[in-house]
């Protein structure tokens, strides 16, 4: 009973504090004393009350324009949005700061956080990667303008990570085509899934020549060329089996220790059986 009483009292105190804080915020929000409002917004930001800080700063950005507080106000708004996980708004506000104050006090940090905000909003690899491409571009812009920045290594690391995500998306697309195999329901304009897998994989290797997933793409190309030959019409069968055989030899030369070497050797044997005549 005593513990329950303490619990009720604690809830009452908390409710009172919350009501008091809310009433104080409402009072500040309605005041015409913009200097006091600005200081209160800074206090909200410092205490992690980002939603309240954003509400006040969105109004103050216009009011403080042209004053000594203008840069800090706009940058703080962007950081509050970032900390509040509104990454889309944050990226736009950081961009606005950098465009308005390219040589400003916070220009370097703002340029970095344009990319950082976009980075935080990038989706998993199977989804549309527009945000990922934009984030890479933003980080590259940052590195171009601030090549000696202390944030250089972090920006570079993020770029590599995001590039890997783009590569993975291409790999998942190529793998999907391979897994669809002989299914023609999605090939409304002719062609085959194996051809689509080959083209997707080869394009990925051209676009990302230094990817760590080169071998995985090479495996898909090799297997798809063999399967493409296997399902070909008679007039194309020999040519495609020879192409598949060449691909297998190339794979073995490039990846002699690969776990897929036996697959390549098995394909070569079968290709020779078809083309020996």
The Cα–Cα gap between 251 and 245 comes to 10
If you average pLDDT over residues 13-30, what whole number do you get?
57
| Res 253: pLDDT | 98
- The structure's pTM equals 0.82
If you average pLDDT over residues 152-165, what whole number do you get?
97
Q: Is the pLDDT of residue 12 over 70?
A: no
Q: How confident is the model at residue 182 (pLDDT cuts 50, 70, 90)?
A: confident
Share of the chain above pLDDT 70, in %: 87
If you average pLDDT over residues 94-100, what whole number do you get?
97
If you average pLDDT over residues 22-40, what whole number do you get?
78
Crossing angle of the two packed helices 214-230 and 193-207, in degrees rounded to 10: 150
| Res 27: pLDDT | 81
What are 95-104's contacts with CB under 8 Å, separation 24+? Answer: 97/71, 100/74, 101/71, 101/74, 104/71, 104/75
| Res 184: pLDDT | 61
Average pLDDT, the chain: 89
| Res 189: pLDDT | 52
φ and ψ at residue 29, rounded to 5 degrees: -60, -35
Q: Is the pLDDT of residue 202 over 50?
A: yes
């Amino acid at each position: 009973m005593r513990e329950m009483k303490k619990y009720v009292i604690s809830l009452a105190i908390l409710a009172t504090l919350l009501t008091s804080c809310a009433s104080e915020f409402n009072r500040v929000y309605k005041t015409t004393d913009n200097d006091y409002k600005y200081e209160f917004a800074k206090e909200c930001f410092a205490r992690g009350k980002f939603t309240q800080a954003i509400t006040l700063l969105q109004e103050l950005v216009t009011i403080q324009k042209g004053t000594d507080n203008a840069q800090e106000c706009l940058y703080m708004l962007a950081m509050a949005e970032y900390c509040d996980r509104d990454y889309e708004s944050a990226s736009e506000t950081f961009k606005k700061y950098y465009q308005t104050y390219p040589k400003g006090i916070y220009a370097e940090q703002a340029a970095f956080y344009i990319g950082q905000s976009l980075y935080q909003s990038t989706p998993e690899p199977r989804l549309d990667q527009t945000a990922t491409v934009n984030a890479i571009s933003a980080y590259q812009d940052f590195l171009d303008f601030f090549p000696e920045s202390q944030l250089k290594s972090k920006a570079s690391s993020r770029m590599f990570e995001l590039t890997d995500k783009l590569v993975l998306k291409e790999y998942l697309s190529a793998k999907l085509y391979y897994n669809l195999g002989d299914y023609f329901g999605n090939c409304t304009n002719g062609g085959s899934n194996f051809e689509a897998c080959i083209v997707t994989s080869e394009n990925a290797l051209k676009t990302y020549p230094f990817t760590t997933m080169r071998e995985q793409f090479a495996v898909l190309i090799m297997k798809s060329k063999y399967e493409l030959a296997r399902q070909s019409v008679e007039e194309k069968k020999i040519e495609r089996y020879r192409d598949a055989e060449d691909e297998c030899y190339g794979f073995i030369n490039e990846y002699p220790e690969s776990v897929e070497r036996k697959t390549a050797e098995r394909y070569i044997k079968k290709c020779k059986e078809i083309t020996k005549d």
